[in-house]
Amino acid sequence: MITSSSPTIFLFFFLISTCSALLQASINGVRGFKLEENEATQIKRSDFPPGFLFGAATSSYQVEGAYLEDGKSLSNWDVFCHSIGCAEDGDTGDIADDHYHMFMEDIEAMHSLGLDAYRFSISWARILPRGRFGEVNPAGIKFYNKIIDNLILRGIEPFVTINHNDLPQELEDRYGSWLNAEMQEDFLYLAEVCFKSFGDRVKYWVTINEPNMYIELAFEQGVFPPSRCSEPFGNCVYGNSDVEPLVAMHNMLLAHGRAAKLYHEEFQAINQL
């Protein structure tokens, strides 16, 4: 994680157990569901040390929906879920939790719980529909600006993940995404756009979410896009499970390093002012 200015390292606890259940129940309560009585009494803020951040976490494809609205292009997950399939029942992220249209309700739910932080990811295809081969999409920038501004207004710290597995399908079609060193240039450009657009308010950045898991599932087992693998790891049309995970991880690690270097050298000092 990249931080702009923080003398103390805080543990940022993504609420993946009781607290995430509370958040989801609260959001569902807004949308017509009831919070179970015992769920609200299992944990107390006083059980944790001062400075501990309580927060919630999402990823763009899993919650946003609006998959072709306001200039967004097809992502690798859009294509994967509409072709190979990403759920047994045929569900896709076309609508998902409709966070794109209902983010204010979700922020209000977080605020009502007294959460300190919200970790969300940027949809690459929403702000750079064609990667570095096209223009920045102002509607995408505006969407994330509204999220960030409203979080800060309610005292919730934004934690931004630059990439959580999804990318413009064009980058896959053009050169094979993470299997090509060109992907480093595209990721660096994405990071620069994010730092320029949101860095004056965002102090905490995550470059790439769980790269080890993504590489294994996408390029070894083939159950994530681009669904590349070979026997005995999986049954894919294309791929080499012995070689491609190493190539993709190599490019991903270099992309992370270059983005972190860019931030520390060109943006961190400015954002500390």
The boundaries of the domain holding residue 18 are 10-40+54-271
Q: Identify whether the C-beta of residue 73 lies closer than 8 Å to the C-beta of residue 130.
A: yes
The Cα 252–Cα 209 span in angstroms is 11
In a domain, 83, yes or no: yes
Radius of gyration of the chain (CA): 19
Joined together, the tokens standing for residue 258 give 């270059």
In a domain, 260, yes or no: yes
pLDDT at 250: 98
In a domain, 169, yes or no: yes
Joined together, the tokens standing for residue 200 give 């004056």
3-state secondary structure the chain: CEECCCCCCCCEEECCCHHHHHHHHHHHHHCCCCCCHHHHHCCCHHHCCCCCEEEEECCHHHHCCCCCCCCCCCEHHHHHHHHCCCCCCCCCCCCCCCHHHHHHHHHHHHHHHCCCEEEEECCHHHHCCCHHHCCCCHHHHHHHHHHHHHHHHCCCEEEEEEECCCCEHHHHHHHCHHHCCHHHHHHHHHHHHHHHHHCCCCCEEEEECCHHHHHHHHHHCCCCCCCCCCCCCCCCCCCCCCCHHHHHHHHHHHHHHHHHHHHHHHHHHHHCC
- The tens digit of pLDDT for each residue in 87-129 reads 888 899 999 999 999 999 999 999 999 999 999 999 999 999 9
In a domain, 45, yes or no: no
- The tens digit of pLDDT for each residue in 20-32 reads 433 444 444 444 4
Q: Identify whether the C-beta of residue 171 lies closer than 8 Å to the C-beta of residue 177.
A: yes
**In sequence order, what are the beta bridge partners of 75?**
168
pLDDT at 43: 75
In a domain, 208, yes or no: yes
In a domain, 184, yes or no: yes
pLDDT at 232: 97
The Cα 159–Cα 156 span in angstroms is 9
Query: Model pTM?
Result: 0.85
Q: What is the pLDDT along the chain (273 residues), one digit of tens a residue?
A: 765 443 222 233 333 333 343 344 444 444 444 545 555 567 788 889 988 999 999 999 999 999 999 999 999 999 999 999 998 888 999 999 999 999 999 999 999 999 999 999 999 999 999 999 999 999 999 999 999 999 999 999 999 999 999 999 999 999 999 999 999 999 999 999 999 999 999 999 999 999 999 999 999 999 999 999 999 999 999 999 999 999 999 999 999 999 999 999 999 877 665
Domain of 121, CATH number, reads 3.20.20.80
Peptide bond into 50 cis (omega under 30): no
In a domain, 196, yes or no: yes
One-letter amino acid of 113:
L
pLDDT at 13: 33
pLDDT at 37: 54
Q: How many domains does the chain have?
A: 1
pLDDT at 271: 66
